[in-house]
Structure formats: C-alpha cells, structure tokens
Structure 1
Amino acid sequence: MTKQEITDHNSIVLLVDSFYAKARKDDLIGPIFNEVIGDHWDEHLPTMYKFWGDILLNRNEYEGNPMFVHKRLNARIPLQPVHFERWKKLFVETVRELFEGDKAELAEQRAVSIATVMQLKISGYH
C-alpha cells in the first residue's frame, strides 16, 4: 500500500478506522474497548473523527472532555500503564503503516503526548 499524507477528513477516517480495527482485535486493550463501547461504534467513531480532525486539521468540531471520559472509565475498568503503552504502540504503528509527512509525524507526537498525560492524570500524578 502506498503511504499518503494526512490532508482531509478521509485521511482522518482511514486513520481512526484502521487504528480501532486493530485495537479491537488486540488481546490486551481490545476487551476494554469492546466492553465499554459494545455495539455503539457508530457513535464513537464520528466522535474520534472530530477529535483527530481538530488535532491534525484544525477543524474545531470536537466537543467533549476526553479526560473526564477516561477518568470515568478508569473507575469502572482500572487502566494500567501497560494499556496506555499498547494504545500508543498500535496508534503509532497504524500511522506509520498508512501515512507519511508532517501531519503523520504530528499524529504520532500528539498521540504519545495525549496518552502519556492522560495516564499520569488518571494515576493521580501531579
């Protein structure tokens, strides 16, 4: 497959769908996603398109508080550092398989940064 640059909504959809297809099958984090999201992927994925569209394309469409959502999730299913590491690994792997260029590098950097900060805040690190 030829790598492409992240340039528009279709790129975001490809990134998000590809990542979640991989994450849902993963032995470690797949069960978490499948339990929490269940049959509501048709609601979750458009939210993620908006989230990553804002981060990578400055779309200003996402409305939400991912930290609140993940803290609430952590109260239900304790998230461990290993979960965040796997998430980062799969996300970066997906970006590298499909994309190249400045926005691809930004996607990797932001994913690692967001996951790291979220992990620290959820664990109570100040």
Structure 2
Amino acid sequence: MKDIETRLDIGLLMSEFYNRLLADPAISYIFTDVAKIDLEAHLPHLTDFWELSLFHTGNYKKNVMQLHLDLNAKESLTDTHFDIWLSHFNTTTDTLFTGSNAEKIKTRALSIATIMKIKIQSA
C-alpha cells in the first residue's frame, strides 16, 4: 500500500469512507434523512476540506463547524455518532493507505471530532 499523496488519493478515501458511513444504519440516517446530502455533489467539498487539512492546499472556504452546529440543531450529534464516524474513518484509511500522511489524516480526524464534540456540547 502507498501513502496519501494527492488530491485523487483523498477523493478515493472520501468516496470509500462515505460508502461505509452510508451502509451503517447507526449513522447513515444523518446523511440521508437529516442532512439529505447528495453524495456526488458533496464529495468535492469533502475532498477540498481534507486536502486543505492535510496538504494546506485547495480552496475550502466553508465554516465546517457551523455546518455541523446547524446539523446538530436538526438531529443531536452524540458521542456515539462521533465514535462511529471516527471508527469508519480510521478503518477506511487503514484499508487503503499506509504512511505518515495516512497517520496524519487520522490524527486530524480525531482532533476535529474532539473539537466538534466540545463545541456542540457547549452550544
């Protein structure tokens, strides 16, 4: 296996990750019934976000925290949801990639999930 090296690698990771999330009934309803995401339209934004987070490049401009606060107002995002999300993120990353960037993106995901949980609980 190789490390995450390009935007295409991040796109593959996001596609596989969301396929796992959408197949998990414990969390899929948040994306399908609450947020009602169009995955094909959403994937480029996810890739932009993680490209900026991992490589400090790209053009992600949205306020990811506010998007999740708005989502939480519709459906409470619980510690369990974050744990499931993080588990799928880590498993997908480990299935597809190995190396320093793969470890870095998992660390960033943990940091982001932790910050979001804290901000959502204090909102």
TM-score by length of 2: 0.94
Q: Give the paired residue count.
A: 123
1:67–1:118: 8 Å Cα contact kept in structure 2?
yes
Aligned to 1:43: 41
Runs of 4+ in 1 over 6 A off after TM superposition: none
Aligned to 2:18: 20
Aligned to 1:100: 98
2:31–2:37: 8 Å Cα contact kept in structure 1?
no
State the Cα deviation string for residues 97-126 of structure 1 (Å, max 9, x = none).
11011100001100011001101110118x
* RMSD after superposition: 1.3
CA distance, structure 2, for counterparts of residue 55 and residue 99 of structure 1? 17
CA distance, structure 1, for counterparts of residue 37 and residue 79 of structure 2? 26
Q: What's the offset of the Cα at 1:44?
A: 1.1
2:22–2:28: 8 Å Cα contact kept in structure 1?
yes
TM-score by length of 1: 0.92
Amino acid at match of 1:19: F
CA distance, structure 1, for counterparts of residue 75 and residue 53 of structure 2? 27
Cα distance 1:37–1:79, how it changes in 2: closer, same or farther (>3 A)?
A: closer
1:37–1:44: 8 Å Cα contact kept in structure 2?
no
Alignment of 1:78-117 (within 5 A): 78-117=76-115
Alignment of 1:53-64 (within 5 A): 53-64=51-62
Q: What's the offset of the Cα at 1:24?
A: 0.6
2:13–2:92: 8 Å Cα contact kept in structure 1?
yes
1:53–1:59: 8 Å Cα contact kept in structure 2?
yes
In structure 1, the gaps of 5 or more residues are none
CA distance, structure 1, for counterparts of residue 73 and residue 37 of structure 2? 21
Of 43-52 and 55-64, the range deviating more from structure 2: 55-64
